[in-house]
Structure 1
Amino acid sequence: MINRVVLVGRITRDPELRKTNTGTSVVSFTLAVNRRFSSNQEGGQDADFISCVAWRQSADFMANYVKQGALLGVEGRIQTRNYKDQSDRTVYVTEVVCDSVQILAQKRDQQTASQSSYQPSTRNDAYQPDVQSSYESDFGSDTLDIASDDLPF
């Protein structure tokens, strides 16, 4: 069985870092991902708004470096859960639990000269972000058009 998700989209608002009772960092966020085919008659693109959650060092990375409108690459798995709300109704949640988060481009008015990413290692090393040149400055565009035949699976 395989449960793997790869998304590229824009974060809808600045991430807010929270801590669990045990001190574990967590960030919940929504990623706006354009659809390849649009039902919009006026030529605009439709988007899906996908709930995501990042934990530990990935959450700390996002709180420090990610701002609303940033283009992110996210890799993780789909998880479902449910809970009872205050009126005792069952609420079902489907979200992507992120294993890695990469900043592909910042929003134009928040551009930086570098691109950062964080992928947790299996070792207990101190957190060191990977800093490389910006995709936007390399390719001159803040959008990526990825065809299904570009993916390795």
Structure 2
Amino acid sequence: MNSIHITGRLCADPELRQTTSGIAVCRFRVAVNRRFSNKQTGEREADFITCAAWRNTAEFVSRYFQKGSWIEVSGELRNNDYEDNNGVKHYSMNVLADYVGFVGNKDGSQAAQNAPYQPQGTQTQNYTPQPQTIPKQPQSAPATHTYQQDVQQAQQIGNLGDFEEILSDGDVPF
């Protein structure tokens, strides 16, 4: 498998389309800064990578990202060579997105613009390994619940009618 992970900015608004069978597909280009500056000009250059997402991922990209948004994409690198009507061979590489995510803060700034890729759920920054310790006393079992306590706690939460109405509409926001 040719896995790739990129982080960059969208070059244009994503293009969402439907196949003839109704499957959503979204195509977008990501500008990715190179790690080092050009030795001759001193400027940082960028690569422009074409990506495609399908189904729910396609709808997610088209709904929440627009030109200039920071985006994180993980997927497979695919060769997309073809020959046009004039017999000219064209070569390109595209990313078939398996995962797409947000990068940066809500205000649009990026916290770690060129940080190396870290798989989701791990943080190596500010991490100091701690020796594992064995608890001196056995941990107590969780408190037992009764049906009566659970009903009483649910009544304290309040009226969930609005929540039930949202779920019954079928248009769940999550």
Q: Find the counterpart in structure 1 of residue 31 from structure 2.
A: 32
Q: Percent identity?
A: 37
| 1:89 to 1:72, Cα distance in 2 relative to 1, 3 A | same
Q: Work out whether 1:16 is the aligned partner of 2:15.
A: yes
Q: State the 1:29 CA deviation.
A: 1.2
Letter of the structure 2 residue corresponding to residue 32 of structure 1: A
Q: 2:19 and 2:39 mapped to 1: Cα distance?
A: 41
Q: 2:22 and 2:81 mapped to 1: Cα distance?
A: 23
3-state SS of the aligned residue for 1:37? strand
Q: Greater Rg, structure 1 or structure 2?
A: 2
Does the 8 Å contact 1:40/1:46 carry over to 2? no
- For the aligned residue pairs, the C-alpha RMSD in angstroms reads 2.2
Which of 92, 96, 114 is residue 145 of structure 1 equivalent to?
114
TM-score by length of 1: 0.67
3-state SS of the aligned residue for 2:14? coil
Does the 8 Å contact 1:10/1:32 carry over to 2? yes
Q: State the 1:90 CA deviation.
A: 3.0
Q: 1:87 and 1:145 mapped to 2: Cα distance?
A: 41
Q: Find the counterpart in structure 2 of residue 52 from structure 1.
A: 51
Letter of the structure 1 residue corresponding to residue 23 of structure 2: T
Q: State the 1:97 CA deviation.
A: 0.6
Q: How does 1:96-135 map to 2 (within 5 A)?
A: 96-105=95-104, 135=105
Q: 1:48 and 1:20 mapped to 2: Cα distance?
A: 29
How many residues end up aligned between the 2 structures? 118
| 1:44 to 1:141, Cα distance in 2 relative to 1, 3 A | farther
Q: State the 1:67 CA deviation.
A: 0.6
3-state SS of the aligned residue for 2:58? helix
3-state SS of the aligned residue for 2:15? coil
| 1:62 to 1:151, Cα distance in 2 relative to 1, 3 A | closer
Q: 2:85 and 2:56 mapped to 1: Cα distance?
A: 32
TM-score by length of 2: 0.60
Unmatched 5+ residue regions in structure 2? 120-174
Unmatched 5+ residue regions in structure 1? 106-134
